[in-house]
Amino acid sequence: MNFTAKTIADFLQGELVGNPDVVVSDVSKIEDGVEGTLSFLANPKYEKYLYTTRASVVLINRDLSIHGTIEPTLIKVADAYKAFAALLELYASSLPRKSGTEQPCFIHPTAVIGSGCYIGAFAYLGEKVSIGDNVKLYPHVYVGDGVKILDNTTLYAGVKVYQGCAIGSNCIIHASSVIGSDGFGFAQGDNQHYKKIPQLGNVVIEDDVEIGSNVSIDRATMGSTRIGKGTKIDNLVQIAHNVEVGGDTVIISQAGIAGSTRVGNKCVIAAQAGLVGHIKIGDNVIIGAQSGVAGDIEDNRICLGSPAIDAGTQKKALVLFKKLPEMYKKLYELEKFLKDHVEK
């Protein structure tokens, strides 16, 4: 689709600087901009590309100071990143939408399916499944018995949702993720033989959650493993049985949360962080990449390291750690001096 700079500026309620009639039909990164595309500048470290990009239109923050000659038409907005995201959302909404039921697929006679849905080839919908309006189930999706999926949710190819789980509205689950597989529950008996503990609960995913590809969220032993409203989960994340994650929390790739841990609202769990089981993480907590969390964390804390400690303390410890070779050398020289002079 083609848009003029003026149309875009009017939509964003931005200030236009340059040719209002220039037309764009695609988007590009500012450093790789080509004629006929729209780009944006939000991160100051990319400002140098503003003076060299060949993009036809660039969104910038209103408070950005210009330090050179610029060829593209500019649209000044309060937040260039959010404005660009709004345009992408508008464009995505204009794309063709899949609908209808492809064959072959299996839909149990007791399944209830809302209006405007898309069910891809080789999908499986079990007994007493309930699907809301405008739900999209891409090819090879498995929906087990008794699963409920609310309106406007999308499950991409190969997603598996085990029996009894519930997914809210406006959710997105990307390819090959598994919702409701058995929790890792085993009891050690005689001769160190492990006996499986039946996992009888489910997984509840609230509204507006997005889950990346190859994520595994285990069903509860009893009750529910729960993902709160608005939470975003990156690819390759493991969430164990009976975990409860609050709303608007972000969990980044390769993080793992062990059983029965509670994570608060508006938290950030960075890449490769690991949380042991049966602990409580407060609201507004940030856990740094590769951190190992072995105990409770209070609200509004930033923690780093393994074991994870307060970020300020960890940074001081890292400074000292870098100086350990130098400190060891000085200690060795002092010990040698004392041995050569004092002891004699």
pLDDT per residue as tens, the chain (344 positions): 689 999 999 999 999 999 999 999 999 999 999 999 999 999 989 999 999 999 999 999 999 988 889 999 999 999 999 999 998 888 887 778 889 999 999 999 999 999 999 999 999 999 999 999 999 999 999 999 999 999 999 999 999 999 999 999 999 999 999 999 999 999 988 888 999 999 999 999 999 999 999 999 999 999 999 999 999 999 999 999 999 999 999 999 999 999 999 999 999 999 999 999 999 999 999 999 999 999 999 999 999 998 888 888 888 888 887 888 888 888 888 888 888 776 55
Of residues 299, 297, 221, the one with CA closest to residue 260: 221
Residues with Cβ < 8 Å from 211, sequence gap 6 or more? 171, 172, 173, 174, 177, 179, 205, 217, 227, 233
Give the pLDDT confidence score for residue 36 in this predicted structure.
95
In this prediction, residue 247 carries a pLDDT of: 98
Could you give the angle at the alpha carbon of 249 between the alpha carbons of 270 and 213, nearest 5°? Answer: 70
CB under 8 Å to 130, separation ≥6 — which residues?
111, 112, 147, 148, 149
Question: What pLDDT does 307 receive?
Answer: 87
Whether the Cβ atoms of residue 104 and residue 122 lie closer than 8 Å to each other:
yes
> 15 CB contacts (<8 Å, ≥6 apart)?
9, 62, 75, 76, 77
CA-nearest of 279, 275, 246, 273 to 260 is: 279
Look at residue 338 in the predicted model and tell me its pLDDT. Answer: 83
Give domain limits for the chain.
Answer: 3-94, 101-313
Instruction: Look at residue 343 in the predicted model and tell me its pLDDT.
Output: 59
> With left for phi above 0 and alpha for psi between -120 and 50, is residue 324 left, alpha or beta?
alpha
Q: Could you identify the residue written with the tokens 């949360």?
A: 257
User: Is 3-94 in CATH node 3.40.50.920?
Assistant: no
CA 54 to chain centre: 32
Q: Which of 67, 140, 174, 241 is catalytic?
A: 241
Compute and round to an integer the Cα radius of gyration of the chain: 27
Quick one: tokens of 128?
């007493």
pTM: 0.86
Residue 50 pLDDT = 94
pLDDT at 336: 83
Distance of alpha carbon 58 from alpha carbon 76, whole angstroms: 9
Residues in contact with 246: Cβ distance below 8 Å, sequence separation at least 6, in sequence order: 228, 231, 262, 263, 264, 265, 266, 267, 283
Q: Tell me the β-bridge partners of 274.
A: 256, 292
Say whether 67 is catalytic: no
Yes or no: domain 101-313 corresponds to CATH 2.160.10.10: yes
- What the block records as the tokens of 178 is 């598994």
Q: In CATH terms, are 3-94 and 101-313 the same topology?
A: no
Q: What was the pLDDT predicted at 344?
A: 56
